[in-house]
Structure 1
Amino acid sequence: MATSKKSKSAIVAQLLFQVPHQTNKFCNLYFAALNSFSYLLIIIIFKEIQSEFFPFIIEDQVVGYTHNRFASHLRKYDDVFIYSENNGGRFGSHLKLNSKLKTADERTRVVGEVIKCLGEEDLIPGIRNELYPVTSTFGSPIFFSLERAAAPYFGIKAYGVHMNGYVEKDGQKFLWIGKRTQVKPTYPGMLDHLVAGGLPHGIACGENIIKECEEEAGIPRSISNRARPVGAVSYMDINGFSYKRDVLFCYDLKLPEDFVPKNQDGEVESFQLIPVAHVANVIRRTEFFKPNCSLVIIDFLFRHGYICPEYFGYLDLLQSLRSGDCS
């Protein structure tokens, strides 16, 4: 009996990784852009959900967005957070820090104490003791630093680095793909980049990619320092009280044919080297990849000629990929 293309792609992924079925919102969103009606419907629904959040303001700058019900848990900390009703002003209803908190260090300390309490109440799960900078745009002055797990609950811009590690053999390109361990708190067991990670406070993108290369794949600096920055993609995702606004700096690294990655931090279960065309089919026809990885790989597919202008919906997909807020 003939096997459909969809089931073939699923079989390829299952044979290589034995991954469970998961939801891949971003991949679905971008491929839905090929249908203009579906894309408009997604935008309308997203804007409706987005209206449940109001701005988080520091020094007259919008640095994030907070869900109205999550903000209710912050009102008892009125020595730290101030909620302002819509009085017809510039921002409408909004959350801000107490004006007595003047310095970045002081803000980091007192907000951190609140986050610790919220974590103990399970309102912010998965505290990681890793700080993200709170800023209006990348490279702008830092207002304070916030626990990474709390970032989406305050809707701040978060930044990360993702690297496509690829190999060329006999004129064909292959991507090294990792499978996340089942004990990862987020997206356990899903497919992932060879190397990826958040961008914490106080480290540059280039140095961070070298650090992540060593930790996640055992790539020595002599190889990882050849990683090439190739751009950035961004996305937004709302899930309950969480509002992710992430910008991912993309890197490509051409690896030696005989290199085999070895995870060092216990967060990757296995690696497999897969033809790029197979990876593209897995992204298009299954939901096995960690969602934001799909965006970075789609960007790779455009840049390396795997998605061509002759394909239906080429410009719609490209516009969707490039229309995010990379600031």
Structure 2
Amino acid sequence: MSTRFDTYLQVISHADKFPHEFDPKNPDEVHHTIPFRLHPHIVGRVLPSTLPPLIEYNDAQMPKPFEVVEGEYISFASWVDTFDKRTQVMENLLQTWREKGTFKVLKGWRNEIFPVYGDASRSDNVAFVIERAGTPLFGISQFGAHLNCYVREPDGSIKIWVGRRSRTKQTWPGLLDNCVAGGITYQATTKDTIVKECDEEASIPSEISKQARNVGAVSYFTYTEHGLVPETQYSFDLELPRDFVPTPRDGEVECFYLWPIEKVRETLLNNEWKPNCALVTIDFLMRHSVITADTEPDYIDLTYRLHRKLEFPTPHKQVAARAPFVVTSTCQQQ
């Protein structure tokens, strides 16, 4: 039986567990990560246990694609100076490790390409792209989109649609999940990701899913047996019609439950949720005044911990120019 939590702060700490401060005396290797640098930026972090295979690979290449200063940092060699070169270097490395079975995480190869930010010379700030399965090996900051689906009862109360992850999934099998969620691949938008995942995971048609509203984001830094996982999840809310029932389609979700708030709270504290999805759900409960400043003693700390400031570069979005606005006033001019 998994550990039960006493507070929502413990639920968040279960996900956001990468050290906020490094302790050089702590033997755990998460306290001794090596920065992956690109010019002035840190674009990732590497565990000490990942270095020997990286050095072995690097020494076998001519010219060497990486500069490795043990105990200090790794970076691309000076000749790896463009988006295409960086992308190709990372692909060659991960494909070699995959063929040799160097890291178990690469058995979960997804053919999904994630952007890595940090090249300000490009309008999108993308320095290179990388296969999703390889991101934990380099502590690459990932971005996803999660959807809270809910219905409002005639008495004004809220019920939340909760997914049960397939028990055959490679990651977090059988745990509870947000209704819809997915990683944001290269050149995909957050809204496109939500609409796509709504169709694939829950059979929610686009005329409904397009009504989902982006309501914020949560950020955290965790780690698993496969490596380091700093993540930011864009949060979306969607009020579904009371007569609509999400239906699993692609096999990633086993079933959906429509639960009252108290059942959701109970399962959060019972540690029944995928850790990052628990954070998105706590954020939903705070925004809908289920968890309030007058009823939750850790309210401010919850707010801080749901929005961890990560050290990595972030996306730059191109937005359309806003139309000029007109001001209407009932005040008399002085």
TM-score, reference length from structure 1: 0.82
The percent identity for this pair of structures is 35
Q: 1:100 aligns with which of 76, 79, 83?
A: 79
State the alpha-carbon separation in 2 of the partners of residues 112 and 301 from structure 1: 41
**Structure having the larger proportion of residues in helix:** 1
Q: Any conservation in 1 of the 2:203–2:246 contact (CA below 8 Å)?
A: yes
Please tell me whether residue 119 in structure 1 is matched to residue 98 in structure 2. Answer: yes
CA pair 100-22 structure 1, distance change in 2 beyond 3 A? farther
* 2:206 matched residue in structure 1: 221
State the alpha-carbon separation in 2 of the partners of residues 294 and 34 from structure 1: 8
* 1:13 matched residue in structure 2: none
Q: 1:81 deviation in Å?
A: 2.1
CA pair 313-137 structure 1, distance change in 2 beyond 3 A? farther
Please tell me whether residue 191 in structure 1 is matched to residue 176 in structure 2. Answer: yes
State the alpha-carbon separation in 1 of the partners of residues 229 and 3 from structure 2: 16
List 4+ stretches of structure 1 deviating above 4 A: 21-24, 27-30, 42-49, 137-140
Q: 1:292 aligns with which of 276, 279, 284?
A: 276
- Which stretches in structure 1 are left out of the alignment for 5+ residues? 1-20, 87-92
State the alpha-carbon separation in 1 of the partners of residues 20 and 70 from structure 2: 27
* 1:128 matched residue in structure 2: 110
CA pair 136-240 structure 1, distance change in 2 beyond 3 A? farther
Q: 1:152 deviation in Å?
A: 1.4
- In structure 2, what residue type is equivalent to 1:165? C
Please tell me whether residue 81 in structure 1 is matched to residue 66 in structure 2. Answer: yes
Q: Any conservation in 1 of the 2:172–2:274 contact (CA below 8 Å)?
A: yes
Q: How is 1:254-269 mapped onto 2 (pairs within 5 angstroms)?
A: 254-269=239-254
- In structure 1, what residue type is equivalent to 2:9? F
After superposition, the C-alpha distances for 1:173-203 in whole angstroms (9 at most, x for unaligned) are: 1111111111100001111111001111110
* 1:90 matched residue in structure 2: none
Work out the number of aligned pairs and report it. 295
Where 2:249 maps in the other structure, the secondary structure is coil
Where 1:263 maps in the other structure, the secondary structure is coil
Q: Any conservation in 2 of the 1:33–1:316 contact (CA below 8 Å)?
A: no
* 1:9 matched residue in structure 2: none
State the alpha-carbon separation in 1 of the partners of residues 201 and 47 from structure 2: 34
* 1:7 matched residue in structure 2: none
Q: Any conservation in 2 of the 1:33–1:317 contact (CA below 8 Å)?
A: no
State the alpha-carbon separation in 2 of the partners of residues 60 and 95 from structure 1: 13
State the alpha-carbon separation in 1 of the partners of residues 129 and 287 from structure 2: 35
Q: 1:226 deviation in Å?
A: 0.5
Q: 1:223 deviation in Å?
A: 0.5
CA pair 324-295 structure 1, distance change in 2 beyond 3 A? farther
* 2:163 matched residue in structure 1: 178
CA pair 236-293 structure 1, distance change in 2 beyond 3 A? same
Q: Any conservation in 1 of the 2:146–2:236 contact (CA below 8 Å)?
A: yes
* 2:89 matched residue in structure 1: 110
Q: How is 1:304-319 mapped onto 2 (pairs within 5 angstroms)?
A: 304-311=288-295, 312-319=297-304
After superposition, the C-alpha distances for 1:198-233 in whole angstroms (9 at most, x for unaligned) are: 111110111111111111111111001100000000
* 2:329 matched residue in structure 1: none
Q: Any conservation in 2 of the 1:33–1:320 contact (CA below 8 Å)?
A: no
Bigger shift: residues 169-178 or 113-122: 113-122
- Which stretches in structure 2 are left out of the alignment for 5+ residues? 59-63, 315-334
State the alpha-carbon separation in 2 of the partners of residues 34 and 108 from structure 1: 34
Q: 1:103 deviation in Å?
A: 2.2
After superposition, the C-alpha distances for 1:72-94 in whole angstroms (9 at most, x for unaligned) are: 111123222220246xxxxxx10
Q: Any conservation in 1 of the 2:163–2:179 contact (CA below 8 Å)?
A: yes
* 2:140 matched residue in structure 1: 156
CA pair 46-149 structure 1, distance change in 2 beyond 3 A? farther
Q: Any conservation in 1 of the 2:11–2:278 contact (CA below 8 Å)?
A: no
- In structure 2, what residue type is equivalent to 1:183? T
State the alpha-carbon separation in 1 of the partners of residues 66 and 47 from structure 2: 14
